[in-house]
Copies of this chain bind each other. A is one copy, B any other.
Protein backbone atom coordinates (compact mmCIF):
# COMPACT_ATOMS: atom_id res chain seq x y z
CA UNK A 1 0.00 0.00 0.00
CA UNK A 2 2.93 2.27 0.57
CA UNK A 3 4.72 2.08 -2.76
CA UNK A 4 3.62 4.20 -5.65
CA UNK A 5 0.18 3.42 -6.93
CA UNK A 6 0.19 1.87 -10.38
CA UNK A 7 -3.35 1.42 -11.50
CA UNK A 8 -4.61 2.33 -14.91
CA UNK A 9 -8.02 3.88 -15.25
CA UNK A 10 -10.19 3.12 -18.25
CA UNK A 11 -13.73 3.63 -19.47
CA UNK A 12 -15.83 1.10 -21.34
CA UNK A 13 -18.96 2.01 -23.27
CA UNK A 14 -22.08 -0.10 -23.46
CA UNK A 15 -23.59 1.23 -26.67
CA UNK A 16 -27.27 0.55 -27.14
CA UNK A 17 -29.13 0.83 -30.40
CA UNK A 18 -32.61 -0.06 -31.56
CA UNK A 19 -32.37 -1.66 -34.95
CA UNK A 20 -34.92 -3.80 -36.77
CA UNK A 21 -37.16 -3.53 -33.75
CA UNK A 22 -34.65 -5.13 -31.44
CA UNK A 23 -32.41 -3.77 -28.74
CA UNK A 24 -28.84 -4.20 -29.87
CA UNK A 25 -25.32 -3.59 -28.64
CA UNK A 26 -22.37 -2.32 -30.62
CA UNK A 27 -19.30 -4.44 -29.96
CA UNK A 28 -15.80 -4.44 -31.40
CA UNK A 29 -13.82 -7.40 -32.52
CA UNK A 30 -10.65 -7.78 -30.56
CA UNK A 31 -7.69 -8.10 -32.90
CA UNK A 32 -4.93 -8.72 -30.40
CA UNK A 33 -3.95 -11.03 -27.58
CA UNK A 34 -5.03 -11.88 -24.98
CA UNK A 35 -8.48 -13.09 -25.93
CA UNK A 36 -7.92 -12.23 -29.58
CA UNK A 37 -10.99 -13.01 -31.65
CA UNK A 38 -13.49 -12.44 -28.88
CA UNK A 39 -15.65 -9.39 -28.79
CA UNK A 40 -15.44 -6.52 -26.38
CA UNK A 41 -16.95 -3.24 -25.37
CA UNK A 42 -15.31 -0.24 -26.85
CA UNK A 43 -13.05 1.32 -24.26
CA UNK A 44 -9.99 3.41 -23.69
CA UNK A 45 -7.76 4.91 -21.06
CA UNK A 46 -8.60 8.14 -19.33
CA UNK A 47 -6.39 11.11 -20.17
CA UNK A 48 -4.41 12.77 -17.38
CA UNK A 49 -6.38 15.94 -17.57
CA UNK A 50 -9.58 14.56 -18.94
CA UNK A 51 -12.84 14.34 -17.02
CA UNK A 52 -14.01 10.77 -16.69
CA UNK A 53 -17.25 11.63 -18.49
CA UNK A 54 -15.30 13.27 -21.27
CA UNK A 55 -13.20 10.18 -21.71
CA UNK A 56 -16.32 8.12 -22.27
CA UNK A 57 -17.59 10.63 -24.80
CA UNK A 58 -14.28 10.69 -26.61
CA UNK A 59 -14.13 6.92 -26.82
CA UNK A 60 -17.61 6.85 -28.28
CA UNK A 61 -16.82 9.70 -30.65
CA UNK A 62 -13.75 7.95 -31.98
CA UNK A 63 -15.79 4.92 -32.83
CA UNK A 64 -18.99 6.46 -34.08
CA UNK A 65 -18.26 10.03 -35.02
CA UNK A 66 -21.17 11.01 -32.82
CA UNK A 67 -21.02 13.87 -30.34
CA UNK A 68 -23.35 14.99 -27.59
CA UNK A 69 -24.66 11.53 -27.14
CA UNK A 70 -26.73 10.64 -24.13
CA UNK A 71 -24.53 8.72 -21.70
CA UNK A 72 -24.89 7.58 -18.12
CA UNK A 73 -22.25 6.26 -15.82
CA UNK A 74 -23.17 2.76 -14.76
CA UNK A 75 -20.60 1.50 -12.29
CA UNK A 76 -16.92 0.92 -11.75
CA UNK A 77 -15.27 -2.45 -12.01
CA UNK A 78 -12.24 -2.75 -9.81
CA UNK A 79 -11.37 -6.35 -9.14
CA UNK A 80 -7.60 -6.58 -8.96
CA UNK A 81 -7.32 -9.31 -11.56
CA UNK A 82 -10.21 -8.46 -13.87
CA UNK A 83 -7.80 -7.74 -16.72
CA UNK A 84 -5.02 -10.34 -16.99
CA UNK A 85 -2.71 -7.94 -18.80
CA UNK A 86 -2.35 -5.56 -15.88
CA UNK A 87 -4.13 -3.63 -13.20
CA UNK A 88 -6.91 -1.71 -14.85
CA UNK A 89 -9.95 -0.27 -13.16
CA UNK A 90 -12.75 0.53 -15.56
CA UNK A 91 -15.81 2.71 -15.27
CA UNK A 92 -18.65 1.71 -17.55
CA UNK A 93 -20.92 4.16 -19.32
CA UNK A 94 -24.04 3.31 -21.22
CA UNK A 95 -24.83 5.20 -24.39
CA UNK A 96 -27.73 5.25 -26.79
CA UNK A 97 -27.19 5.96 -30.44
CA UNK A 98 -29.11 5.87 -33.69
CA UNK A 99 -27.73 3.51 -36.24
CA UNK A 100 -28.86 5.91 -38.91
CA UNK A 101 -26.69 8.75 -37.69
CA UNK A 102 -23.39 7.23 -36.90
CA UNK A 103 -20.40 6.98 -39.17
CA UNK A 104 -20.45 3.53 -40.71
CA UNK A 105 -16.95 3.91 -42.11
CA UNK A 106 -15.42 4.47 -38.73
CA UNK A 107 -17.31 1.56 -37.34
CA UNK A 108 -16.07 -0.68 -40.09
CA UNK A 109 -12.53 0.46 -39.46
CA UNK A 110 -12.78 -0.67 -35.87
CA UNK A 111 -14.33 -3.96 -36.86
CA UNK A 112 -17.47 -3.22 -34.93
CA UNK A 113 -20.79 -4.98 -35.21
CA UNK A 114 -24.29 -4.82 -33.80
CA UNK A 115 -25.61 -7.77 -31.81
CA UNK A 116 -29.13 -8.27 -30.50
CA UNK A 117 -29.06 -8.12 -26.74
CA UNK A 118 -30.03 -11.75 -26.35
CA UNK A 119 -27.60 -13.08 -28.93
CA UNK A 120 -24.31 -11.73 -27.69
CA UNK A 121 -21.07 -13.40 -28.64
CA UNK A 122 -18.45 -14.32 -26.08
CA UNK A 123 -16.97 -11.22 -24.49
CA UNK A 124 -13.57 -10.64 -22.94
CA UNK A 125 -12.81 -10.29 -19.26
CA UNK A 126 -15.77 -9.10 -17.21
CA UNK A 127 -17.47 -7.37 -20.11
CA UNK A 128 -20.41 -9.70 -20.00
CA UNK A 129 -21.10 -8.75 -16.40
CA UNK A 130 -20.74 -5.11 -17.39
CA UNK A 131 -23.33 -5.55 -20.10
CA UNK A 132 -25.73 -7.37 -17.82
CA UNK A 133 -25.47 -4.68 -15.20
CA UNK A 134 -26.05 -1.96 -17.79
CA UNK A 135 -29.07 -3.77 -19.19
CA UNK A 136 -30.57 -4.19 -15.75
CA UNK A 137 -30.03 -0.53 -15.08
CA UNK A 138 -31.57 0.41 -18.41
CA UNK A 139 -34.64 -1.70 -17.70
CA UNK A 140 -35.06 -0.09 -14.33
CA UNK A 141 -34.58 3.47 -15.51
CA UNK A 142 -36.54 3.30 -18.69
CA UNK A 143 -39.81 3.00 -16.78
CA UNK A 144 -39.32 6.18 -14.80
CA UNK A 145 -37.22 8.42 -16.98
CA UNK A 146 -37.72 9.39 -20.59
CA UNK A 147 -34.33 8.19 -21.73
CA UNK A 148 -35.39 5.61 -24.26
CA UNK A 149 -36.14 8.37 -26.77
CA UNK A 150 -32.46 8.56 -27.44
CA UNK A 151 -32.92 5.31 -29.32
CA UNK A 152 -35.59 6.71 -31.61
CA UNK A 153 -35.57 9.48 -34.18
CA UNK A 154 -37.11 12.77 -33.18
CA UNK A 155 -40.42 11.82 -34.73
CA UNK A 156 -41.67 8.39 -33.84
CA UNK A 157 -44.94 6.49 -33.93
CA UNK A 158 -46.62 4.80 -30.99
CA UNK A 159 -46.20 1.32 -32.48
CA UNK A 160 -42.49 2.11 -32.72
CA UNK A 161 -42.34 3.37 -29.16
CA UNK A 162 -44.14 0.32 -27.90
CA UNK A 163 -41.84 -2.02 -29.77
CA UNK A 164 -38.88 -0.16 -28.31
CA UNK A 165 -40.18 -0.69 -24.81
CA UNK A 166 -40.96 -4.30 -25.49
CA UNK A 167 -37.45 -4.76 -26.84
CA UNK A 168 -35.83 -3.11 -23.86
CA UNK A 169 -37.96 -4.81 -21.23
CA UNK A 170 -38.05 -8.05 -23.14
CA UNK A 171 -41.73 -8.57 -22.43
CA UNK A 172 -44.91 -7.90 -24.41
CA UNK A 173 -47.00 -4.90 -23.43
CA UNK A 174 -50.72 -4.42 -23.82
CA UNK A 175 -51.33 -1.98 -26.63
CA UNK A 176 -54.30 -0.20 -25.09
CA UNK A 177 -52.78 0.13 -21.67
CA UNK A 178 -49.54 1.35 -23.17
CA UNK A 179 -51.29 3.98 -25.24
CA UNK A 180 -53.40 5.14 -22.34
CA UNK A 181 -50.25 5.81 -20.34
CA UNK A 182 -48.72 7.75 -23.19
CA UNK A 183 -51.91 9.77 -23.53
CA UNK A 184 -51.76 10.72 -19.86
CA UNK A 185 -48.34 12.28 -20.29
CA UNK A 186 -49.10 15.45 -22.14
CA UNK A 187 -45.54 16.10 -23.21
CA UNK A 188 -46.07 13.53 -25.94
CA UNK A 189 -47.11 15.75 -28.81
CA UNK A 190 -49.14 14.18 -31.58
CA UNK A 191 -48.17 15.57 -34.96
CA UNK A 192 -50.32 15.98 -38.04
CA UNK A 193 -47.98 13.87 -40.10
CA UNK A 194 -48.28 10.13 -40.50
CA UNK A 195 -45.71 7.46 -41.08
CA UNK A 196 -47.03 5.61 -44.12
CA UNK A 197 -44.11 3.23 -44.46
CA UNK A 198 -45.30 0.51 -42.12
CA UNK A 199 -48.98 0.20 -42.91
CA UNK A 200 -51.65 1.33 -45.30
CA UNK A 201 -53.53 3.23 -42.67
CA UNK A 202 -50.45 5.03 -41.45
CA UNK A 203 -49.46 5.82 -37.88
CA UNK A 204 -49.33 9.31 -36.48
CA UNK A 205 -45.94 10.65 -35.57
CA UNK A 206 -45.32 11.92 -32.07
CA UNK A 207 -42.52 13.88 -30.55
CA UNK A 208 -41.34 14.17 -26.99
CA UNK A 209 -41.39 17.72 -25.66
CA UNK A 210 -38.44 18.22 -23.32
CA UNK A 211 -39.63 21.56 -22.02
CA UNK A 212 -43.10 20.33 -21.12
CA UNK A 213 -41.59 17.29 -19.46
CA UNK A 214 -39.28 19.46 -17.38
CA UNK A 215 -42.36 21.04 -15.80
CA UNK A 216 -43.89 17.77 -14.74
CA UNK A 217 -41.10 15.26 -14.29
CA UNK A 218 -43.50 12.42 -13.85
CA UNK A 219 -42.98 9.62 -16.25
CA UNK A 220 -44.04 6.03 -16.08
CA UNK A 221 -44.30 3.50 -18.84
Contacts and interface: CB of A to CB of B under 8 A. Distances in A.
A7 B75 contact: no
A190 to B, nearest CB: 33
Interface stretch (A34-42, A45-53, A195-203): A45-53
A23 B91 CA distance: 30
Contacts of A75: 73, 75-76
Nearest to A56: B78
Contacts of A53: 78-79
24 contacts: A5-B8, A5-B45, A5-B47, A5-B48, A6-B48, A7-B9, A7-B46, A7-B48, A9-B9, A9-B78, A9-B89, A49-B80, A49-B87, A51-B78, A51-B79, A51-B80, A52-B78, A52-B79, A53-B78, A53-B79, A73-B75, A75-B76, A76-B91, A78-B91
Nearest to A87: B48
A91 B52 CA distance: 12
A46 B79 CA distance: 11
Interface of A: 1, 3, 5-9, 45-53, 55, 73, 75-80, 87, 89, 91
Nearest to A9: B7
A79 to B, nearest CB: 5
Given A46-B78, A73-B76, A76-B76, A89 B5 contact: no
Contact of A52 (B5, B8, B76): B76
Nearest to A45: B5
Given A5-B9, A8-B5, A9-B9, A46 B76 contact: no
A128 B7 CA distance: 26
A184 to B, nearest CB: 23
A96 B99 CA distance: 44
Nearest to A2: B47
Nearest to A11: B78
Contacts of A78: 9, 46, 51-53, 55, 91
A82 to B, nearest CB: 9
Contacts of A51: 78-80
